[in-house]
Structure 1
Amino acid sequence: MSLGTFVKNIQNIMRGDSGVNGDAQRIEQLTWLLFLKIYAKKEEEWELFDDNYKSILPEECKWENWAVDKVDGKSLTEDKLLTFVNEKLFKQLKNIKLPADAPIKHRILKDVFASTNQYMKDGVLLRQLINEINKIDFDNIKELHAFGEIYETILKSLQSAGNAGEFYTPRAVTDFIVEMVNPKLGETVADFACGTGGFLTSTLNHLEKNMKNTEDRAEYNNAIYGIEKKPLPHLLCVTNMLVHDIDNPAIYNANSLERNVREYKDNEKFEVILMNPPYGGAEGDAIKNNFPADLRSSETADLFISLIMYRLKENGRAAVIIPDGFLFGLDNAKVAIKKKLFSEFNVHTIVRLPASVFAPYTSITTNIIFFDNTGTTKETYFYRLDMPEGYKHFSKTKPMKLEHFADCIKWWNDRCDIKDEETDTYKAKVYTLEEIVNRNYDIDLCGYPTIEEEVLSPEETILEYKEKRATLNSKIDKKLQEIENILGVKLC
């Protein structure tokens, strides 16, 4: 199977159908078909190795009974195929009855199709698309590996996922973070806004190298946990986990922020949490009331930081990608969140990322905060990741690569301050907790010496303005309070 040929063929087929408009619909149309093809393959394995396994799929809805072209002239096509898919397949999959204790491998089937759509209107083109998918041989290891590349291509096309700071995280970034946090077999890695599963995929690739026996395989199968609010990324993530040979993908279609954080018990916490939470969104009172009063930020990313703190096990490790606004923000909620983070957790490293890491989809500058649940912070190292030589910006044609983190990885294992003599700034520097507290938790440190050219969307411009305005107001209020204390008066 040729990667380029497959992608080109499926694109040409779907572009010819009047019912499919835009990349998002094409991806959803393709992925629910891929999901059923992969699920059929997984059921073969489950039935082979588990005598008690029983499929919950109605016989006529099993892939081999409606999708496989037996070249006998009896395969469904044209209007008969459309009628079957629309009137039988989807209706039955959406209405599957499950017991309360149904295993994950059964629940995902119903969860995936609860909000999935069938867009195609041309039965001939739908048959052609299904036949292309049937050319993939999942029994062939090389073919399966090639399909992994195909799926990565599909996921990259979702890099611009909306105007609320949600986008595909470059694989180089997730691979770097996983390498630094170093999850181990036996630990569970959680992502509460997992999107298409970038962090979870990097985790599985990392763990796969260490599998040696059946016990390791069982731990690998239980190594990931994800929650995704939006139906399409959820479908993509579940399919991604099946591609990576996870039998029970614990990926849930839900809103991680809808539960009161004070209700989480120890058995609902995790050894490792890795996230690139959505930011720029505004949450209503119903969501904010799930957090203690002083932590009730309107900014989605701030709430996810708090959620991580409540769901990280003792001695657990976490890494989260966060925009600059969290670092320099000094509004009451941000300061309270950072105070809790630094006083109750060990924030050991903050890596500053270039503005173009997520270009061309957003130019908001981001950072990676690494911390663990081993006690209060004593000191925090900041490291500025500069653009590699020969690069002015990252782009679609010149994306970020894991090798661009090489200097940072080397520094990680042998930490020291690094002075940039040309700009009289620090590329890397350690700050004590006392220094951070004295800055009122303004941790905009080891930043870039020159302002990089940025072209922000209107939404991003407004978000950045609000963050800076709130920070400036907070600094003014603090200065006024200092003056009042000196004078011994209360100014109106």
Structure 2
Amino acid sequence: MERQALANKIEHIYEIMRAEGLSILDYVEQLSWMLFLKILSDREEERKLTAELKGEKYRPVIKEEYLFHNWPRRFDAPSLKKVKDVRAFYEFISTELWPYLGSLGGSDELNKIGEIFSNVSLKIHDPHNLLEIFQSIEDIRTDEEDTHIMSQLYEETLMLMGREGGAAGEYYTPRPIVRFMVKVVDPEIGETVFDPFCGSGGFLVEAYNHAYEKAKSVEDLKKLEESFYGQELKPQAYLIASMNTLLHGVNAKLTKTDTFSEDLHSPGELYKIILTNPPFGGKIKESNLQNLPVRTRSTELAALQYVMRKVKPGGRVGIVLPDGVLSNVTKSYIKVRKELLERNNVFAVVSLPQGVFANISPKGGTGPKTSLLFFERGKPTREIWYYELVPPNGKNYTRANPIKDEDLSDALDKFEAWRKYLETGDEEWKKKALSENSWVVGIDKIKERDYDLSARNPNRKLTIEYPAPEEIIASLEEKERGISELLNEIKAVLGEKP
């Protein structure tokens, strides 16, 4: 099917959902489980054909009567377009199929199906609308060509969802940021890649694409099949990540769980690569505090501790963090940063301008001021390469003016020179890594300032700049959080509950 025809079909489905009063996040969620069933059915058809060609017995993942391509038979129709009993179709989906799928378990594939359908709900309430949507989906092929187009359309919807802000933005990291982080960390064939807060699965998809380009043999492709892992707590995000990775051909092993429920004093499986954007501004549950080596209510500081302990020795981490984690003066923050620098080589920090993450600000505005932190586990930090990203043409990033891949090209060029320096020790490469927007800071300097890792560009002239009102508000909110953390520490010393 041509891209425009497929795009029109998806837009028609969204129009039906819009008439049901659904939000864009609902569009993605509802389309995800519907496409999931279609793709599952088509894959089962392929498995059945393969088994027959080999003379083997075919065993479907779910009961054959519940596979998408067998639905019309239930209504004595050659296709869903010929189904006349709309009410009976709706009852089949809502009261028979859904409970069956939600009860599945016993294998990785069945567990995934069971988790999806026991944690999301059917939000299309008009029987005619539900049938019309499935009639449109029936026409979509899941061969290589249509799947490729569908994956692009799905990604565009996720991008639109991210720009809507609020809850939708929690699941979406701007793809230029994701691609930049993947290039810096540079996953190799055979290295396990893990995102403990996977949202829509963007890091896993881009890491797969990056590694796939290096594949040169069938053996390499087999290794890729076993290399990608993710965790997500929220049912909607788990479903979206499942669909997004499936459409992009990533055989990701996803788990629906609270990442902070793992005891970091004795962490389980470790991974060679961790790429993630943890939840900002959240609170750790009381029952999970004991799992953290340094107790904190801050989800960001807890996430930093988590990735420090879940990456293998010699493994690499790229993590998005609000600037407060890099500079907060409370004891818990300083202690975590000190451990980070003593046990890991923090080789790069990229400071992002306000507005890059406007899409995840629940109150609107420019969103949190963030930085990208990169480190390798197993050896102490000696010096850190910093880069300060400045929006081109003097325009601030907003939802309407999002960051683009080309905006990060200079940062990537300078980092590649820094990578060469780290590999060779050649001072000429180090010189090429420096510019008006990039500089290097030694560990002694960082120790002098209480392990403050925030970016302080020494090349920038001191000028008086008046921030926008929303930037002032964001700054005040960050300071308020810092004060709250400090008060909690004081109360803890005095024996009071925070």
Shorter-chain TM-score range: 0.7 to 0.9
Q: Deviations over 1:392-442 (max 9, x none)?
A: 12234432221111111111122447464xxxxxx2221111111110012
Q: Deviations over 1:292-351 (max 9, x none)?
A: 2xx111110110100101111010000100001111111111111101100110001100
Q: Deviations over 1:105-136 (max 9, x none)?
A: 33211121120111112221111111222222
**Any gaps of 5 or more consecutive residues in structure 1?**
421-426, 475-492
Partners of 1:285 and 1:457 lie apart in 2 by: 32
Q: Number of aligned pairs?
A: 455
Aligned partner of 1:57 in structure 2 is 62
Aligned partner of 2:141 in structure 1 is 137
Cα shift at 1:461:
6.2
1:363-374 mapped onto 2 (5 Å cutoff): 363=366, 364-374=368-378
For the pair 1:375 / 2:379, whether they are aligned, the reply is yes
For the pair 1:43 / 2:81, whether they are aligned, the reply is no
**2:320 alignment partner, SS class:** strand
For the pair 1:94 / 2:102, whether they are aligned, the reply is yes
1:335–1:116 distance in 2 versus 1, CA, 3 Å: same
1:451–1:143 distance in 2 versus 1, CA, 3 Å: farther
- For 1:149, which of 145, 152, 155 is the aligned residue? 152
Partners of 1:72 and 1:134 lie apart in 2 by: 7
Cα shift at 1:46:
3.8
Amino-acid identity (%): 28
Cα shift at 1:470:
6.3
For the pair 1:281 / 2:282, whether they are aligned, the reply is yes
1:165–1:152 distance in 2 versus 1, CA, 3 Å: closer
- For 2:205, which of 201, 225, 231 is the aligned residue? 201
Q: Which amino acid aligns with 2:129?
A: L
Structure showing the higher helix proportion among its residues: 2
**2:99 alignment partner, SS class:** helix
Deviates more, 1:42-51 or 1:171-180: 42-51
Cα shift at 1:225:
0.3
Aligned partner of 2:272 in structure 1 is 271
Contact 1:24 1:158 in 2 (8 A): yes
Cα shift at 1:182:
0.7
1:73–1:396 distance in 2 versus 1, CA, 3 Å: closer
**2:347 alignment partner, SS class:** strand
- For 2:470, which of 444, 455, 462 is the aligned residue? 455
Partners of 1:206 and 1:429 lie apart in 2 by: 27
**1:357 alignment partner, SS class:** coil
Aligned partner of 1:108 in structure 2 is 112
1:120-135 mapped onto 2 (5 Å cutoff): 120-135=124-139
1:470–1:124 distance in 2 versus 1, CA, 3 Å: closer
1:127–1:73 distance in 2 versus 1, CA, 3 Å: closer
Partners of 2:280 and 2:260 lie apart in 1 by: 13
For the pair 1:392 / 2:395, whether they are aligned, the reply is yes
- For 2:237, which of 233, 242, 246 is the aligned residue? 233
Cα shift at 1:462:
6.4
Q: Which amino acid aligns with 2:14?
A: Q
For the pair 1:179 / 2:186, whether they are aligned, the reply is no
Contact 2:161 2:169 in 1 (8 A): no
**1:157 alignment partner, SS class:** helix
Contact 1:383 1:446 in 2 (8 A): no
For the pair 1:446 / 2:456, whether they are aligned, the reply is yes
Aligned partner of 1:409 in structure 2 is 412
Aligned partner of 1:70 in structure 2 is 78
Contact 1:352 1:385 in 2 (8 A): yes
Partners of 2:448 and 2:190 lie apart in 1 by: 40
- For 1:258, which of 241, 256, 261 is the aligned residue? 261
Partners of 1:375 and 1:49 lie apart in 2 by: 50
Aligned partner of 1:434 in structure 2 is 444
Aligned partner of 2:34 in structure 1 is 33
Cα shift at 1:281:
0.5
**2:291 alignment partner, SS class:** coil
Contact 1:429 1:446 in 2 (8 A): no
**1:54 alignment partner, SS class:** coil
For the pair 1:219 / 2:223, whether they are aligned, the reply is yes
**2:372 alignment partner, SS class:** strand
Aligned partner of 1:330 in structure 2 is 329
Q: Which amino acid aligns with 1:453?
A: A
Partners of 1:455 and 1:7 lie apart in 2 by: 36
1:28–1:419 distance in 2 versus 1, CA, 3 Å: closer
1:352–1:432 distance in 2 versus 1, CA, 3 Å: same
Cα shift at 1:463:
4.0
Partners of 1:264 and 1:329 lie apart in 2 by: 26
Aligned partner of 2:194 in structure 1 is 190
1:46–1:339 distance in 2 versus 1, CA, 3 Å: farther
Partners of 1:473 and 1:113 lie apart in 2 by: 43
**Any gaps of 5 or more consecutive residues in structure 2?**
418-429, 489-498
Aligned partner of 1:80 in structure 2 is 88
Partners of 2:475 and 2:449 lie apart in 1 by: 26
Q: Which amino acid aligns with 1:80?
A: A
TM-score by length of 1: 0.85
Aligned partner of 2:422 in structure 1 is none
Q: Deviations over 1:34-87 (max 9, x none)?
A: 111112223234445565762231222111112697348753652111100111
Contact 2:193 2:228 in 1 (8 A): yes
Partners of 2:147 and 2:220 lie apart in 1 by: 21
Cα shift at 1:172:
0.6
Contact 1:419 1:428 in 2 (8 A): yes
Partners of 2:211 and 2:72 lie apart in 1 by: 34
Contact 1:345 1:377 in 2 (8 A): yes
TM-score by length of 2: 0.84
Cα shift at 1:218:
1.2
**1:375 alignment partner, SS class:** coil
Deviates more, 1:164-173 or 1:369-378: 164-173
Deviates more, 1:223-232 or 1:353-362: 353-362
Q: Which amino acid aligns with 2:414?
A: W
Cα shift at 1:164:
11
Q: Which amino acid aligns with 1:285?
A: E
Partners of 1:179 and 1:200 lie apart in 2 by: 13
1:135–1:461 distance in 2 versus 1, CA, 3 Å: farther
1:155–1:136 distance in 2 versus 1, CA, 3 Å: same
1:373–1:90 distance in 2 versus 1, CA, 3 Å: same
Q: Which amino acid aligns with 1:111?
A: E
